[in-house]
């Protein structure tokens, strides 16, 4: 029908993830010289308008000039003209503006609706607060999906075939990074052949680094998403995450050193794993904080595949530090 084809036209023009793609064209716009009494009877005549809480005021060519809330309309004299009561400083979105920015404007300024204008400043539609809520839920899903290396179309309702097709890409990339990490281990096969116990403790260093990096990553990605982290404070945040990583590394490293000593009866094994954990949690703090900031700097989604990227760092540096220190101190381990 007509409504559907209108929506399709709009989406084809603007794309689903822009203000133009999410706006409705069922809004009320009246000319500046309209009287309040006339405006009220126009509302009566359009029960379908998506939000009758704001009236938009336009000139003869449709350019957005101001906004009148229904509250102002109720409180005005019936013979006043709209331009006399309208608020002419009206926040607006461009039709090609990204959906996330539109949701952010509506949230920040606590709006019920935001007018959308085309390239010529002509009022083209409105985005209502419930569309912003939907967009926010979508953006959240996107952020979590991208951290995990998931296609944003994936969901519990997708068929298995579609999910496999959508997940294979990142899993193959992850396989590549895993081969890289195993190449580091391969480099130390001679050491492992002499001290097999190193193979036993290897996963602990990598696993703790991966977990620490995921914590730093999650805090930094949320900080970017909710606007708490600006580039100006990036250095301070990276430095803080390094401090946190090293501190957590010292505490958990000492605990693990005691466990390793009790298990293997060799204090040097405890020392090797403790040092490697501290180094790897240093790497975890640095990579977990710096990678999303660098992605953002290059205007790439900071969450994009970041989980896979940071664990590549912590796997490689974890094995390198643990097996490297083990090789240096091998005379005390055999």
Q: According to the binding rule CB under 8 A, does residue 317 interact with its own copies?
A: no
* Pick 117 or 312: Cβ nearer its own copies: 312
152 binds its own copies (CB under 8 A): no
Exposure string of 151-173, with b = 16+ CB inside 10 Å and e = fewer, is: beebeeeeeeeebeebbeebeee
What number of CA atoms fall less than 13 Å from residue 317's CA on the CB side? 22
Of the candidate residues 7, 91, 133, 258, the single one contacting its own copies (CB under 8 A): 133
What single DSSP character describes residue 57?
A: E
Asked if 27 touches its own copies (CB under 8 A), the answer is no
Q: Is residue 258 part of the contact set for its own copies (CB under 8 A)?
A: no
Spell out the residues 6+ positions from residue 237 whose beta carbon is closer than 8 angstroms to its own: 220, 223, 229, 289, 293
Q: Count Cβ atoms within 10 A of the Cβ of residue 326 and give its class: 0-12 exposed, 13-18 middle, 19 or more buried.
A: buried
Q: Which is nearer to its own copies, 127 or 206 (CB)?
A: 206
Closer residue to its own copies, CB minimum distance, 117 or 281 = 281
Residue 84 or 243 with smaller CB distance to its own copies:
243
Q: Does 175 interact with its own copies (rule: CB under 8 A)?
A: yes
Ranges within 214-243 binding its own copies (CB under 8 A): 214-215, 217-223, 226, 228-229, 233, 237, 240, 243
Name the 3-class secondary structure at 128: strand
Give residue for tokens 């990276």: 238
Please report whether residue 91 would count as binding its own copies according to CB under 8 A: no
Cβ-contact 315, 176 below 8 angstroms: no
Nearer to its own copies by Cβ, of 50 and 117: the residue is 50
* H or E element in which residue 68 lies: strand 64-69
Contact segment (CB under 8 A) with its own copies among 5-13, 16-24, 56-64, 146-154 equals 146-154
Residues 261-300 close enough to bind its own copies by CB under 8 A: none
């Amino acid at each position: 029908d007509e409504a559907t084809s209108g929506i399709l036209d709009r989406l084809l023009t603007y794309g689903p993830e822009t203000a133009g793609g999410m706006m409705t064209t069922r809004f009320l716009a009246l000319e500046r010289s309209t009287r309040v009494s006339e405006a009220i009877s126009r509302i009566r005549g359009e029960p379908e308008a998506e939000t009758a809480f704001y009236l938009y005021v336009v000139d003869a060519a449709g350019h957005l000039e101001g906004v009148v809330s229904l509250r102002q309309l109720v409180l005005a004299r019936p013979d006043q003209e709209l331009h006399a009561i309208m608020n002419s400083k009206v926040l607006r979105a461009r039709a090609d503006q990204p959906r996330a920015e539109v949701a952010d404007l509506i949230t920040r300024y606590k709006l019920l609706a935001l007018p959308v204008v085309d390239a010529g400043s002509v009022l083209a539609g409105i985005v209502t607060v419930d569309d912003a809520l939907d967009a926010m839920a979508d953006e959240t899903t996107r952020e979590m999906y991208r951290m995990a290396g998931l296609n944003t179309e994936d969901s519990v309702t997708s068929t298995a075939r579609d999910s496999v097709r959508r997940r294979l890409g990142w899993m193959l990339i992850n396989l590549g990074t895993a081969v890289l990490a195993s190449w580091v281990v391969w480099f130390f096969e001679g050491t492992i052949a002499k001290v097999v116990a190193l193979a036993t403790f290897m996963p602990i260093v990598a696993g703790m680094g991966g977990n620490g990096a995921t914590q730093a990553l999650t805090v930094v990605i949320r900080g970017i998403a909710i606007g708490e982290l600006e580039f100006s404070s990036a250095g301070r945040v990276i430095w803080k995450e390094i401090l946190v990583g090293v501190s957590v590394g010292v505490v958990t490293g000492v605990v693990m050193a005691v466990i390793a000593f009790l298990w293997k009866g060799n204090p040097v094994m405890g020392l090797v794993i403790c040092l490697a954990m501290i180094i790897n949690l240093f790497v975890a703090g640095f990579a977990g904080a710096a990678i999303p900031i660098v992605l953002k700097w290059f205007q790439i989604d900071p969450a994009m595949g970041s989980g896979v990227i940071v664990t590549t760092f912590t796997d490689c540096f974890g094995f390198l530090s643990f097996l490297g220190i083990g090789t240096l101190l091998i005379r005390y381990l055999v």
